[in-house]
Amino acid sequence: MAGCVKEQPNNALSPTKCICGKNYRTVEEFETCTFDGKQIIGENCTAKTECADSCADCSNGVCTCKPGHRPKTDAEFWSNPTDAKLCIVDDYKLAIDAGDPCTGKNQCVGNATCTATVSGVCTCGDKFYNDQGKCVPRRDAGSACFGSGQCVENSECSSTMGGTSILPGFPCTDYWQCAQYAECDVGGTWLCQCIPGYWSNGTHCVPAIKAGEVCGGLGQCVANAECTTNTGGTCDCDLDYYNLRGRGSCKCETGFFANNGKCEPVKTVGQVCTGRGQCVENAECSSRFGNGNCECNPNFFDVQGQCKSEIPAGLPWPNQCVTNAQCVAGTCVCDSGFVERDGKCQNQVPAGQPCSLATDVCVDNAACSASRLCECSTGYFNDAGKCAVLRKPGESCTGVGQCIENADCGPTDLCECEYGYYAQRGQCLPKKSAGDPCSAVGQCMDNAECRQGSCQCNPGFYVKQGVCLPVKDEGQPCGTYGQCVDNAECSSPTGGVCICDKGFYAEAGKCYPIKKPDEPCSGDGQCIPNAFCSTSTNKCTCSKGFYTDNADCLPVKDAGQPCDAVGQCVDNAECTGGTCKCKNGFYPDG
């Protein structure tokens, strides 16, 4: 109804303001626009057609909301100022619920419309869902939900996760909003993306397929491998890569680096490079993005394209260098396997090898321990003599000790959290106890699931001090109510034994409904009162002095009492003409 146009400026700093568009007029009192020639709520009229709102009538010469409707409040109007309607449903008894039949416009509850003028149905708008006939806003990612169709677009409701979670490939605003094994690329694409070692099957993130195994399309394989066909094949390592130890991981050989799916020889000093990891040892690329050159790190210099440690210069030519050093181009250079420390060349000992505190230097991120072995620092592991950063959950591994704390290398060659822990943001955190808040599947302890935002015990278990324990069988000791099997309860709230509820009998620790007359049974105590389990028929039978009446056992009737069927009278009497009468040869006694 309105658009923003620039006023004729008095100076360069003149502001802009909203004015009504063509064919509209300004209603100053309500700060809104309406069709030129149409009246809004509260303005004078002579006919219904003069009122701008379809939910209004001309009543007593004034445009007024129809019965069952009321004018919007200021807050309701400004929550959606572009909505031309100024009347909303007020009496929902007069409006048709979502999901019920309708025949025209303005018959449905708020946020719902009729799908047709004949045989239509009141249907909630795209941003709402049907909650017992009312249209309520769809739930945002991360909030609680209780069924399908309640979540905003591109998210799903998971009863095990206690709320909505955004599927891979769809927009997100924070890391925790994404489905399992996916994270939000905050500051980047702002999309939920599968973490390394996983791929999206269209709805969820599943583990990447190892090299040599069957795959169903592109993008499903481990790093540096691809599926041989788009419709099914095997994961093959890219050119120049090899299947590491036959364990399904594709790596470049030592002395090579990965570049556009190929393994190329590392660059020597002075050669063109385009990023990290492309240069010889002790050298880095001068540019992380675009073309650069391999340059030696500080305290290293170029010796025939390789970077060697620099020993203080100034010694006479040709060779008067310290032990384990050679004079190269007028400079003392440490021999291979040695590094410069305070002007001396000290042996650089690989991780896991014996060392001397006085003469040896361990590889980077390692130190010579009291046991005289080069040991990797906290957060690192021994990778063929070098200390590499411990791998996070979902990252590739090849053996024990390569994963972060509380994680192990799993059967799929990926780091997995140990039993009792779950993965979140690259860490393995202790699983939550029953009653603790949770946000995703897999965060709760054994025998519990995340439901409605908290860890709750599964059916057949009860909570005690945060732990979910199996319910107690009939006859077992219990500590309080709620610890026994179905149809049983603890005999005392302060401790007792599990006993079956009234109307149930115990068998093998469980409680079953007592049997009615003529129902199969296998022992005493299984039948209703005044009945027993007949050993000849294995069915519940009314005891002597009782008769069967509508699945119950009632006392037989004395002579003279009303009856309506055979078998209802005492011995030596029969039901005749609706009354129990003694048989011939017998007389009533009392």
Region of poorest pLDDT, from 23-27, 346-350, 376-380, 411-415 = 23-27
Q: What is the mean pLDDT of residues 358-363?
A: 84
Share of the chain above pLDDT 90, in %: 33
State pLDDT tens for residues 125-146: 888 888 777 888 887 766 666 6
| Distances 28 to 20, 33, 251 between C-alpha atoms, Å | 11, 9, 72
Residues belonging to the chain: 590
Region of poorest pLDDT, from 80-94, 236-250, 448-462 = 80-94
Give the C-alpha separation, 494 to 179, whole Å: 43
- Chain position carrying tokens 């029969």: 574
State pLDDT tens for residues 167-221: 888 888 876 778 888 888 866 888 888 888 898 888 888 899 988 888 888 888 8
**The dihedral of CA 425, 430, 431, 435: what is its sign?**
negative
Residue 7 — pLDDT band, cuts 50, 70, 90? very low
Give the C-alpha separation, 96 to 436, whole Å: 41
| Distances 83 to 2, 63, 75, 320, 395 between C-alpha atoms, Å | 11, 18, 13, 90, 51
Q: Which of 175, 215, 212 is nearest to 193 (CA)?
A: 175
Query: In degrees, to the nearest 5, what angle opens at C-alpha 160 toward C-alphas 159 and 164?
Result: 60
For 246, the 3-state DSSP assignment is helix
pTM of the model: 0.36
- Chain position carrying tokens 């009354």: 579
Are 24 and 2 spatial neighbours (Cβ–Cβ below 8 Å)? Answer: yes
Q: Which residues contact 60 (CB under 8 A, 6 or more apart)?
A: none
Give the pLDDT confidence score for residue 1 in this predicted structure.
41
Give the C-alpha separation, 423 to 427, whole Å: 6
CA 136, distance to chain mean position in Å, is 23
Region of poorest pLDDT, from 269-278, 385-394, 539-548 = 269-278
351 or 149: which carries more pLDDT confidence? Answer: 351
Give the pLDDT confidence score for residue 401 in this predicted structure.
92
Residue 350 — pLDDT band, cuts 50, 70, 90? very high
pLDDT tops 90 at residue 253: no
| Phi, psi of 377, rounded to the nearest 5 degrees | -70, 165
Give the pLDDT confidence score for residue 138 in this predicted structure.
83
pLDDT tops 90 at residue 438: yes
Query: In degrees, to the nearest 5, what angle opens at C-alpha 52 toward C-alphas 50 and 53?
Result: 125
Per-residue b/e over 73-87, b at no fewer than 16 CB within 10 Å? eeeebeeeeeeeebb
Ordered by start, the domain boundaries in the chain are 1-94, 471-513
Beta carbons within 10 angstroms of residue 309's beta carbon? 23
Q: Which residues contact 304 (CB under 8 A, 6 or more apart)?
A: none
For 431, the 3-state DSSP assignment is coil
State pLDDT tens for residues 465-524: 889 999 999 999 998 888 999 999 999 988 899 999 998 999 999 999 999 999 999 988
pLDDT tops 90 at residue 443: yes
Give the pLDDT confidence score for residue 316 in this predicted structure.
42
Beta carbons within 10 angstroms of residue 115's beta carbon? 13
Give the C-alpha separation, 46 to 24, whole Å: 20
pLDDT tops 90 at residue 159: no
pLDDT tops 80 at residue 21: no
Question: What's the mean per-residue pLDDT of the chain?
Answer: 82
Terminal CA-CA length for the chain:
98
State pLDDT tens for residues 36-91: 678 888 888 988 888 887 778 898 899 988 877 788 777 777 777 766 677 876 65
Q: Which two tokens stand for residue 245?
A: 């130890």
Give the C-alpha separation, 437 to 456, whole Å: 10
299 or 504: which carries more pLDDT confidence? Answer: 504
Give the pLDDT confidence score for residue 324 in this predicted structure.
82
Q: What is the mean pLDDT of residues 433-461?
A: 93
Are 564 and 557 spatial neighbours (Cβ–Cβ below 8 Å)? Answer: no
Longest dimension (CA), the chain: 148
264 or 536: which carries more pLDDT confidence? Answer: 536
Give the C-alpha separation, 295 to 418, whole Å: 43
Give the pLDDT confidence score for residue 555 in this predicted structure.
94
334 or 359: which carries more pLDDT confidence? Answer: 334
Are 172 and 146 spatial neighbours (Cβ–Cβ below 8 Å)? Answer: no
Residue 423 — pLDDT band, cuts 50, 70, 90? very high
